[in-house]
A and B are shown apart, each in its own frame.
Chain A
Amino acid sequence: MNTRRSLLQFLGGSLAASFVPWRALADGTVATSEDFFIFIHASGGWDVMLSTDPRNTRTGLIEPPSTGNMTKTGIRLWTDAPLGDGTSSFQPVQPKGSNIVFGPAIGNMANYASRMTLFNGLAMNTVSHPDGTIFAATGRHLAGGRVPASSVDTIIASELGTSQLLPVVSIRFPSYAIDGIDPRAIPLKVDSIGAIGRVLTRSTKYSSAASRDAVTLMLSEEARDLAKEAFYPEPQQNFGLQLDALRGILAGNLKDAFTDATLKAKYPSFSYTGNSQSVGAINSAFALEAMQRNILRCASFTFSGFDTHTTNYDDHAASQQDMFDTIAEFIKQLDTIPHPTKTGKKLADHTHVLIISEFCRTPQINILGGRDHYPNNSAIIVSPKFKGNTVIGSSDKDQLLPVASRAFASGTRAPAPPDILSTLLSSAGIEPSTFVRDGEVMKEVLV
């Protein structure tokens, strides 16, 4: 299917006989980790002026969020800052002792400013949903409409997660396995967490677990035999490895743990009703449960409803607040739940959270009362390996565009998603240049 693979095939070496992860090619080690990684996509493109890169005055192109263009009701951190025309924007939110200034939609995440690394003024160079989404998750723009690189969750799952039953569970996140990915780390994509439990349920009325397992084992052998004679063995190899993985997953008897009812009962502190982001709450509860059971390496999921071109911008702040409140509750839980293998440690000591969106929204209000797509962005990392209370990058005062503010090897420029992904991979001990073509590690943010 491609030249590299054809060469390996033809040379007839053992490399062609089975999948070889990049890490193994590099140093011969078997990857392992006791860390967990959570990836969150605010789908639709968020308005950073409301939360991560606040604006509350009319300057240049900027028409700030105000009572004239949105509803402040229910936004707990909103304090009026009059604009002089009868409408009010908000007073910036700066937690005590924090270097970071937020907008009011940051909600309870303001409580975690000291652990937050905030990237502002990200150069997205796109205002296309698919392109921005792919760029944020893979560090590459679309090439001819196709995704050219693997997403960060899949890379980490491939490099560090194949020993887990669930290397990466992707719930409507832009997860892609393109090249150099262990087949066991191909994202387990589902529409909802409840679907995992239902897919893993097995009837005991017609056949025994042992009988079904014997079939799986036999099929795994069939897949391997088919792969042995194949010019392109990957599909059959992958099938065989995934059959093996399934045996482990079923043996783990996970079906009951991952129903909505079970998760809600075990993690009652999330807001599951009356909340625009209740699905995100279930997903968060799932991630906590899977981490506690030490069966997961990465969980990636989406909070939706941020594409607000029209009067639905009215609810944008509330949607962001709901999302950030959910993430804040997730971090609070991480602080209390013991790590499954590290004695004396909490999950928070070994869990890394990346929050992205595809771009931000225009500083102007459009004709329909909403905000359109804008090629700037923010991203948030909460990780014990990153310096908290830190802001990297900025946007310009009048137009909310990325400012060339950091010295990279290629010169001074604005940071971009590949830099964030490279830095995150580096912090996890993965050589970023293997997977991210353009990024540069920003060492100053690492602990």
Chain B
Amino acid sequence: MRSNIAAFAACLCLTPLSAQADRSLSEYRYFRSLSVDLQGRIPSVDDVAAFEDSKFDTDAWIDARLAGTAYAQRVRQIYMDLLRLEVPSTFGFVRSMAVLRRNEILRADGSTVYVYFRNGQRRQNVATDGTFCLAQADTGQMYPRIGPAVGTAKGISDAALNAATVLVKPWWLYRDYTAANPTDRYDATTWATKYPQFRPVDTVLVEKNGQPTTSVRICKEEAQTPVTGTVYKTGRTSNTTPADRLVPLPGDTAFARDSGGKAIACGSDTAAFYAADCGCGPGLERCHPGNANNNDPAAFVLPTRSPLGFEAPFDATNAQQSQWSRFWWSEEAKHFIDSVVLEDRDFRDLLTGREDWVNGPIAHFYKQIQGATCCDNGVYFGLTEQKPLFDTTAVPSDLLPHDTTAWRAVADRGNLASGILTMPVFLTKYGSRRARAHVLYNAFLCKQFVAESVELTPSTEPDLTKRSGCSTCHSTLEPLSAYFARVRESDWLYLPESNFPTVETKMCNKTSLNITCRSFYDPAFSSESGAKLYGAYSSAENTAAGPKGMGEYIVKHPDYASCVVNQVASSLLGRALNEDDKARKDSWASDLVSSGYRMRSLVRSIVKSDAYRTSNNLSSSEWRGDAQ
């Protein structure tokens, strides 16, 4: 044992590794550390054998690993630990436009059929406008917003069923769903390999009678495919609930009265509420499937945990339709971080880059689904169609929703895009403007908003940058939050200046701050002359700069480089850096900057440093061999 210690100690005077055939314990341990950090696992027997070869070139081995995915995942792990970019199920992405529910309908022949529909879909038939497309007169039942039908079912005639519904071969069943007659239907065996993690729940794949679903029956309005519809004006002045319905018959809103007959884009939630001629599009691609009439029905089978990557899940469970979106939002961010690291791009791109990488589900989301949160009361400010943070024209056109492993680079997402800051996963994980600013401030500048023992006293000052006690943190936080004033909270909906001036003077002021104005403008910062956009009060400049302004602020901050070093080095060394690491840290930060903020250069420097490479854990007496 002692001889081993001596050998260990002697090796501390390291000569270049490649010159040694007989490795010392410290060299083996160094190699093991390199393998764990750069290969993601302990070294194999073959790795160890190669390492023992006298021609083994450690530097070349490191460089080869720094071109591998395991290294990228190691860096990603550091930032995922900091940012935790997975959205909890408490964030329900449930927008009427994008969710198909279904009711079970009794047919005249005694069989049952599922009929898909959207909640709140507008229809020109007053018996069904704003609710399910089959009326009590046809089915004997009434349909609530949520839950099973009420009343005794009577078999619907084929004529009545066909008058209100149609058969469609949807995207979740057919890869060639845009074809005139799709034939390439989901196959559990082959698709599991070709399109891993694309798996509809069994109840969506099989009919009530146990037969495979080859097409879905859907209300005719939902099956429509136009990209533009017209605002439906009914002439009804208020909502009423006729005796044969459970859901009120919608009356015209002020917007419908003013805009009736005008064109409206079908790719928004607004269209579902205002147009009777907007549907789910070709192959129902604007909608997610659902296996019941509830708020967030099950749709796909997904892993609950996949820390080794979505291709290597730990389990598979039936998931709500909203989980499909949340799952792929997270994968987008993970892949983005991996790609920035793996391609050794400027690491500042993580916060400022306009590029992205998308696979089929993400491309599908950006092309077809992201507009679903637009526009609510924004219509009164002229916003009837989203101005997307990810320019839909930049989305690769050949990716299909099933292409889970086909990742494509998108060189430019558009001038609103800024690294992870404009990705849905970030904007929903951190729903509020302040939460967004806070986590970035912490993860990328290594700073924390902590007030310690400040005493808060009651005050009517709404400006937290001035209010006693609050100002300690908020004098910094509020201007940073303002960068996100133009991205609605818990959403990715961008609020353009043209629709939402920072100070609104035409419609909203202190005395006319109705619910429409209050949807976007802050009563606390309104005056008789106008109202101020939520979150904008502390900095009009930052509000105008938007998320990309936040990205620029952080990467230009003097603490940015040292914070990157701090986060990466402390993870690789397994301990917090402290004052004694100052020279080392400064050197690494300098290297990072001079390399053009390349992560590969930084990690290479760290794993070759004395702290990582030549350290030992021997007590001084053991080191000297005193204990012998």
Contacts and interface: CB of A to CB of B under 8 A. Distances in A.
A398 B458 contact: yes
Contacts of A404: 455
Contacts of B627: 229
A144 B452 contact: no
Nearest to A398: B458
A131 B449 contact: yes
A375 B450 contact: no
Interface string A377-400: 000000000000000000010110
Contact of B446 (A1, A125, A144, A307): A144
B575 interface: yes
A125 B448 contact: no
Interface string B467-483: 00100000000000000
A145 interface: yes
Interface string A118-136: 0000010111100100000
Contacts of A145: 442-443, 446, 448
A10 B455 CA distance: 43
B618 A229 contact: yes
Chain B interface residue number, banded: 35 or more
B620 A143 contact: no
A367 B519 contact: yes
A401 interface: yes
Nearest to A131: B450
Given A125-B454, A229-B627, A396-B458, A368 B490 contact: yes
Given A229-B622, A372-B432, A141 B534 contact: no
Contact of B575 (A1, A131, A233): A1
B617 interface: yes
Interface in A59-73: 60
Given A131-B449, A143-B448, A312-B90, A229 B490 contact: no
B455 A123 contact: yes
B450 A309 contact: no
Nearest to B4: A229
Contacts of A60: 458
Contact of A9 (B458, B576, B619): B619
Contact of B448 (A2, A123, A131): A131
B438 interface: yes
A179 interface: no
**A interface majority secondary structure:** loop
Contacts of A416: 453
Contact of B619 (A230, A401, A413): A230
B409 interface: no
Contacts of A367: 518-519, 534
Interface in A1-51: 1-2, 9-10, 12
B618 A142 contact: no
Which of B432, B457, B458, B459 has most chain A Cβ within 10 Å? B458
Nearest to B575: A1
A168 interface: no
A45 to B, nearest CB: 12
A336 B459 CA distance: 49
Contacts of A231: 616-620
Contacts, number: 86
Nearest to B519: A367
Contact of A232 (B431, B453, B617): B617
B452 A141 contact: yes
A402 interface: yes
A128 B449 contact: yes
A414 B434 CA distance: 26
B5 interface: yes
Interface string B341-355: 000000000000000
Nearest to B567: A145
A125 B575 contact: no
A12 B621 contact: yes
B456 interface: yes
Contact of B438 (A128, A141, A372, A375): A128
A181 B518 CA distance: 52
A282 to B, nearest CB: 18
Interface string B553-595: 0000000000000000000000110100000000000000000
Nearest to B453: A125
Contact of A125 (B432, B456, B519, B578): B456
Contacts of A144: 446-448
Contacts of B534: 367
Contacts of A309: 431-432, 489-490
B394 interface: no
B458 A399 contact: yes
Interface string A223-242: 00000011111000000000
B451 interface: yes
Given A229-B627, A307-B90, A375 B456 contact: yes
Nearest to B622: A229
Nearest to B305: A191
Interface in B484-513: 489-490
A145 B447 CA distance: 7
A414 B442 CA distance: 28
A142 B490 contact: no
A237 B431 CA distance: 43
Contact of B456 (A1, A9, A128, A401): A401
Nearest to B450: A141
Interface in B606-628: 616-622, 627
A312 to B, nearest CB: 7
A398 B447 CA distance: 33
Contacts of B434: 127
B430 to A, nearest CB: 10
Contacts of B458: 60, 396, 398-399, 401
B438 to A, nearest CB: 6
A10 B434 CA distance: 47
Given A1-B575, A229-B5, A307-B90, A401 B450 contact: no
Contact of A146 (B447, B519, B576): B576
A438 B453 contact: yes
A367 B459 CA distance: 21
Contacts of A230: 617-619, 622
B5 A125 contact: no
A144 B617 CA distance: 27
A197 interface: no
A367 B522 CA distance: 9
A82 interface: no
The CB with the most chain A CB atoms within 10 A, among B434, B455, B618, B622, is that of B455
A398 B458 CA distance: 8
A121 to B, nearest CB: 10
A340 interface: no
A305 interface: yes
Contacts of B454: 125
A310 interface: yes
A125 B619 contact: no
Given A145-B446, A229-B5, A123 B456 contact: yes
Contacts of B576: 146
Contacts of A123: 453, 455-456
Contact of B451 (A125, A146, A399, A438): A125
A150 to B, nearest CB: 16
Contacts of A141: 448, 450-452
Q: A127, A229, A230, A312: which has the most chain B beta carbons within 10 Å?
A: A229
A9 B621 CA distance: 11
Contacts of A131: 448-450
A438 B434 CA distance: 28
Nearest to A416: B453
14 contacts: A125-B453, A127-B434, A128-B438, A141-B448, A142-B450, A146-B576, A229-B618, A229-B622, A230-B622, A231-B618, A312-B90, A367-B519, A398-B458, A402-B456
Given A12-B621, A309-B489, 6 more contacts: A125-B450, A126-B451, A375-B456, A401-B457, A416-B453, A438-B453
The 7 A-B pairs at the shortest CB distance, nearest first, are namely: A125-B451, A229-B622, A141-B450, A399-B458, A230-B617, A231-B619, A396-B458
